[in-house]
Chains A and B, each alone.
Chain A
């Protein structure tokens, strides 16, 4: 048993996908010319006032519902004060004591970052609140610039309960959150674009002890990988300190990917007093049961529900269902194909073993997958209907992947239609027997496994087109007669 229990809680920031920013009508767009998406409101000019984006509020409530959160009947915005150049007003409009969403939970399962299977678990959500993003500082030689395009972008903060115990669990939780946000079209969660950012709270305590140890916060982790690595690193660091009789201090730490280390940013003593108070420029928000019910109606199927459905009604294994629901686009792809396919299970196999492998090998994201699902279904049907052999199918698949052609067209062009005519196949069978007397002898001596060798020979001679069942039957007949 490990000496220490690890307690991990995550604070995840997710940008809400909207047309306009949280409190003004500037576009909410990434990757534009610095300070081209700004106005007096998001620049904090004198005299401006915020006017709230209803869509951002609705989507945050939606995110809460997706995580089984309690939705507040009464909620409000607050001002969080601190001075920093990336913050136009030197206060951030955020939510303090009455967030839009209260307690909820997220189901995690599958594999962690290390590839190890983790056991199914519910991670508690403490709250989800809505706030405005800040600008971005760019440092140059001798000076810094501020890009306010991001300032005012609607930003959700999702706070988990301290209920994760391993880096793998934290990774799985992040994956599950991302999945949920994508499923509900709340955010693209593209971490490279800063659409999803993560802070980790982590503490160690002696195994079995009830009381939590002192927690350390690791700020601004901008990939799942660095979240995972920083947790692993921090566990080791804290354990070493404790092992040597040292003490962990409550502090905020940063993470460097290059060195693979956390480092101190600020101690508790220099922690900010944010002086929260209710935002007087905005009215409190109220939600009736009917309001919440209306949003609930628009909720998409949760990844978890989808997994269960794939297993229960489409006959997939839990593992297949897990893989196919990891990504919203992928699950939609499969869902669409399953409607057309006679056997969704076989389709799932094709997607997982062929399509995903191919995409993975070539580092192509699923969104750029070149094969329309109708083509893949067609291919599966060609095999199961006996038109082509499994062997030909692989060839067709490669062709489909490379050229985007429909499988039937490829089969015709390449003449890959399966040969199911006894007399034609018999010619190849006879040829194979004549060419391999040694193996015939072995067969006759009782080594029946040689049959597979003959099947291979026939397939080779028929360029993979011979129907394997017929080949088997004819070979047996012929050999047994000799």
Chain B
């Protein structure tokens, strides 16, 4: 049989490996070969070390030969966003300031993936310190959208989304602070899942905004997202904010729903009234709503009245936390230090040279909102609005099981198109509320736009509502008009 590697999922690979139809080395070589051809155009990877990958694959094949496989997924490659630490590897956050800094430890998610035998397949590009929605803020390279290389892949997990969309790897890890998993997944026609805040340990995720950050999978389908979540989630003694174990297995019983009878899907009226919502995206949403209806779901109107403040609230809270989180990058203990005459000059020169413009903008903004005299007007107010946004969701879930919105107001945009930072910030208008509220959200490819680019829809579940959310996403995926989302790259 011939294997279409560009469309291979984790669960299919597991069957192929189990049936000895393919080895991990063959699988990884096929991806490396494809990446070799496509990377000059896509530039999804910051680092792709063939030797490191193949030695992991060989070890996996040996384990399987000795019947010592670590899990059904032993030998399947997963790419890692460059803000998650892997012992012995650099972890740059696509920033110059961490250019050569080697991580002395594994992130908890990496420890868990290694424990199941996954092959760590390169490091993916991102917006510097996950600040951005296009990957254009990377200090190293601009990743292209595999559907149209003149367009951005979205961000900040743009490299992860592009690598999976381009079929350069089976799946990837991303991180989502305001939509950084879901938005690039939508723009690249892949699945992006942000579990409930605290579900997956953040230990080893280089923090952007600690109260919003969440690691999650970017995959080819919902089942793969469930599989990776199963591997990664759970209480971690190294992350005091991680949620208790619930012993759920999200990848099991995914297709237990035969239809959506009795399921209520909430449509927040505010989301569909937004200025700047592309007509084609709106049409795709309407088509998707028809799919849900045909499955027997009841569509109910809900209201998230404070969501209009979400972007503003986010840029107060996220930047405040970022200003402290990024303070440690000073060249004193690690990283490049620019030599200067005084301590203050050393800080200024090192950080001035090491950080890009967007990062500096956000550090300044965050420092400002925490300053005495401004704190109450910005930070305290922001926290209050955050509580209101959270309550909006709690109210909405009294009326529905999940909430449906677009992921992004538009399809992938062109490089340089959003040169105004505020325009760029609005690209996350539908995803940011979920981070502020802390609940779970998923981006599932829904349609192809008239411009030939994929359109994703977002389903948002309540706190800890992953199981139902994934099942509903899964049945949608099986019943949407377009079955496969494969770019013609």
Q: Are B334 and A45 in contact (CB under 8 A)?
A: yes
Task: Collect the chain A residues with CB atoms within 8 Å of residue B372's CB.
Answer: 273, 275
CB–CB B324/A79 < 8 A: yes
In the assembled complex, B1 has its CB within 8 A of some CB on chain A = no
A44-B333, A47-B206 as given contacts; A89 in contact with B241, CB under 8 Å: no
Q: Is A283 an interface residue (CB 8 A)?
A: yes
Interface check A43, CB cutoff 8 A: yes
Over the window 239-266 of chain B, the binary record of Cβ atoms lying under 8 Å from chain A Cβ atoms (1 yes, 0 no) is: 1110000000000000000000000000
CB–CB A81/B237 < 8 A: no
Contact B327 A49 (CB under 8 A): no
A90–B330 touching, CB < 8 Å: yes
| Cross-chain contact A47 with B371 (CB below 8 angstroms) | no
Tell me, in angstroms, the Cα distance from A275 to B379 when the chains sit together: 11
Which residues 263-313 of A have a CB within 8 angstroms of B? 273, 275-277, 280-283
Chain B interface helix/strand/loop/mixed = loop
In the bound complex, do residue B85 and residue A46 qualify as a contact, i.e. CB atoms below 8 Å apart?
yes
Contact B238 A83 (CB under 8 A): no
Q: Specify which chain B residues have a CB less than 8 angstroms from the CB of A43 in the assembled complex.
A: 333
Are B332 and A85 in touch, CB under 8 angstroms?
Answer: yes
**Residue A212 at the B interface, CB < 8 A?**
no
A88 touches B333 (CB 8 A): yes
Q: How far is the CA of A167 from the CA of B370 in the complex (A)?
A: 38
Give the complex CA separation of A91 and B107 in angstroms: 22
**B91 neighbours in A (Cβ, 8 Å):** 46-47
- Determine if B241 and A281 form an interchain contact, defined as CB atoms under 8 angstroms apart: yes
Q: Does B207 contact A (CB under 8 A)?
A: yes
With known contacts A88-B333, A280-B321, A49–B240 Cβ distance under 8 A: yes
* Distance of B469 from chain A, by nearest CB (Å): 24
Q: Tell me the nearest residue of chain B to A43, going by C-beta.
A: B333
Interface residue count for B (Cβ, 8 Å)?
44
Does A51 contact B240, Cβ atoms closer than 8 Å? Answer: yes
Q: Residues 329-350 of chain A: 1 if any B CB is under 8 Å from the residue's CB, otherwise 0? A: 0000000000000000000000
Shortest beta-carbon distance from A437 to chain B in Å: 90
Kindly provide the distance from the CB of B223 to the nearest chain A CB, expressed in whole angstroms: 29
Given contacts A273-B372, A275-B370, contact A47 B84 (CB under 8 A): yes
- Please tell me if A118 contacts chain B, counting CB pairs below 8 Å: no
**B residues 184-213 touching A (CB-CB < 8 Å):** 202-207, 209-211
Shortest C-beta distance, A249 to chain B (Å), equals 20
1/0 per residue A24-50: CB within 8 Å of B? 000000000000000010011111111
B343 contacts the other chain (CB 8 A): yes
CB distance from A263 to the nearest CB of B (A): 20
Interface SS of A by simple majority = loop
A146 at the A/B interface (Cβ < 8 Å)?
yes
Given contacts A89-B327, A89-B328, contact A45 B238 (CB under 8 A): no
User: How far apart sit A360 and B237, CA to CA, in the bound complex (Å)?
Assistant: 49
A275 touches B332 (CB 8 A): no
Q: Which residues on the B side are within 8 Å of A281 (C-beta)?
A: 207, 210, 239-241
Q: Does any Cβ of B come within 8 Å of A52's Cβ?
A: yes
Cα–Cα, bound, A463→B320 (Å): 84
Taking CB atoms, residues of chain A closer than 8 Å to B241 are 49, 280-283
Q: Does B295 contact A (CB under 8 A)?
A: no
Contact between B328 and A146, CB atoms less than 8 A apart? no
Most buried by B among A48, A91, A275, A276: A275
Q: List 17 A-B contacts (CB under 8 A).
A: A45-B104, A46-B85, A46-B91, A46-B98, A47-B85, A47-B103, A51-B237, A51-B238, A52-B240, A81-B327, A88-B328, A89-B328, A90-B324, A90-B328, A146-B333, A275-B324, A282-B241
Q: Which residues of A contact B (CB under 8 A)?
A: 40, 43-52, 79, 81, 83, 85, 88-91, 146, 273, 275-277, 280-283
